[in-house]
Amino acid sequence: MNTPQATGGVSFWQAFRFWLRLGCVSFGGPAGQIAIMHQELVEKRRWISERRFLHALNYCMLLPGPEAQQLATYIGWLMHRRLGGIVAGALFVLPSLAILVAVSWLYLAFGDVPLVAGLFYGIKPAVTAIVAQAAHRIGGRTLKNRALWAIAIAAFIAIFVLHLPFPLIVAAAALAGWLGGHYTPQYFQAGGGHAAAQASYGPALIDDHTPTPAHARFRWAGLLGVVLAGLALWALPMAALTLYFGWQHTLTQMSWFFTKAALLTFGGAYAVLPYVYQGAVGQYGWLTPTQMVDGLALGETTPGPLIMVVAFVGFVGGYVKGVFGPDSLFLAGAVAACLVTWFTFLPSFVFILAGGPLVESTHGNLKLTAPLTAITAAVVGVIVNLALFFAYHVLYRPEVQGGSIDWIALAIAVAAAVALFKLKRGVIEVIVGSALIGCALSLSGLAA
């Protein structure tokens, strides 16, 4: 096997170390993770230009699955071919999987862990500030005119007030962008304000006008090869599970259920969580409603995509059902967590490696990029909604009679916001500092 060549001076192993580090610190859900990648890849390292970054992000927003993980896969593929994409996407997930397996075991075997609870207590308010910063950063670069502002505001109203599904919002934004690209193209030029960004960031290794590398050019043979490989990687383990355990076995049913869930995750994890809750709790009884809520908290406050909550669901289901017998509960949970992770994320790799060459062929075509520019504007409104969702669930305590604000959590959120917005501290520094504060508060008995 040939080793992927360096891209503009960035070797495969330099990129490998970055993707591994990103997988270990990618807190904050998709907004926080995309903010980290933008800060590191566009602003600091200059591996890719703002316009190319946003073009890739817009494509990932259209797909079912975790957009931040898909974006990492896309950039890794663009830089170091298919192996680079597979490594980038896998390293985005594997640290989270390992952490969730360990924490899920602690959760089931030992109950509440004060130190872990303290970590979560400090991180949650920081995540709220990180999501707000992401909305500010992406909005500041994207909303360059009244038309894009109008799309962002309409998207916020649609999701926050009207509770419209995210796929419908994306479709409406794409239609608005398509019409705008035809009739008012001056409002939908991709990367408006990009010249200013270039002046401050400097040239990128993969810049606006860098030719598409040979491996990223569309070929029918390449598309067919990726699709067939993806189908084989799904069908072979599914067939093995069915033949060895039977179709009704817990592990087989988990694999099939999360295959379907993976194709329904338009709009991120929150869009598919009701489906997961209905199936995992109501239909199959793999875990209780309380355990599902706790799993969501773990997914929100551990690195990796929020949809990694499926690993918690899988672990609890395999552990509680004792699929390998009462003496192998941890093994049962770990195998189930790995299986559901495999079937949840496999489609994401296929979508990127198969569709990436088509996307690369469109980054200079206004008729095709205008809908994606409009989608980016709509996503700003959706991220603002996500920030409000986090703020409500982290800073407000409805269990107290009449409701109450958690003033300590609010203070941590404000401190994190000051660190991010005023002091220009990095996302990772803020997360670590907030986690340490949460631990200290928990050990002192001050945490709510």
Map out the domains of the chain as residue ranges: 220-291+308-350
Give the integer Cα–Cα distance in Å for 134 and 380. Answer: 9
Q: What is the pLDDT of residue 236?
A: 98
Helix (H, G, I), strand (E, B) or coil at 282: helix
Give the integer Cα–Cα distance in Å for 349 and 74. Answer: 9
**Do 267 and 165 meet the contact criterion of CB atoms below 8 Å apart?**
yes
Give the integer Cα–Cα distance in Å for 278 and 409. Answer: 31
Strand partners, 405: 396
Q: With residue 384 as reference, give the H or E element that holds it.
A: helix 366-395
Q: What is the pLDDT of residue 197?
A: 40
Q: Is the pTM of this model over 0.75?
A: no
The residue ranking higher by pLDDT, 313 or 1, is 313
Give the integer Cα–Cα distance in Å for 357 and 373. Answer: 19
Q: Which two tokens stand for residue 292?
A: 């599902």
Residue with tokens 């929100």: 300
Q: What is the pLDDT of residue 342?
A: 97
What 8-state DSSP symbol labels residue 208?
T
**Do 30 and 102 meet the contact criterion of CB atoms below 8 Å apart?**
no
**Do 55 and 154 meet the contact criterion of CB atoms below 8 Å apart?**
no
Please report, as a single letter, which amino acid is at residue 9: G
Residue with tokens 């991709």: 190
Q: What is the pLDDT of residue 292?
A: 81
Q: Would you say residue 196 has pLDDT above 60?
A: no
Q: How confident is the model at residue 229 (pLDDT cuts 50, 70, 90)?
A: very high
Give the integer Cα–Cα distance in Å for 267 and 40. Answer: 24
- DSSP codes, 155-186: HHHHHHTS---HHHHHHHHHHHHHHHHHH-GG
What value, to the nearest 5°, has the Cα angle with vertex 261 and ends 338 and 316? Answer: 40
The residue ranking higher by pLDDT, 90 or 128, is 90
Neighbours of 376 (CB within 10 A): 25
Give the integer Cα–Cα distance in Å for 315 and 283. Answer: 17
Q: Tell which residue, 126, 106, 105, 128, has the closest CA to residue 115.
A: 106
Please list, in sequence order, all residues whose beta carbon lies within 8 angstroms of the beta carbon of residue 292, skipping any fewer than 6 positions away.
277, 280, 281, 313
Give the integer Cα–Cα distance in Å for 298 and 123. Answer: 11
Determine the average pLDDT of the residues in 18-34.
81
Q: How many residues does the chain have?
A: 448
Burial class from Cβ neighbours inside 10 Å (0-12, 13-18, 19+) for residue 17 reads: exposed
Give the integer Cα–Cα distance in Å for 438 and 444. Answer: 10
Per-residue model confidence as pLDDT tens digits over 154-192:
999 998 888 887 768 888 988 998 898 888 888 876 544
Per-residue model confidence as pLDDT tens digits over 427-440:
778 878 888 888 88
Helix (H, G, I), strand (E, B) or coil at 10: strand
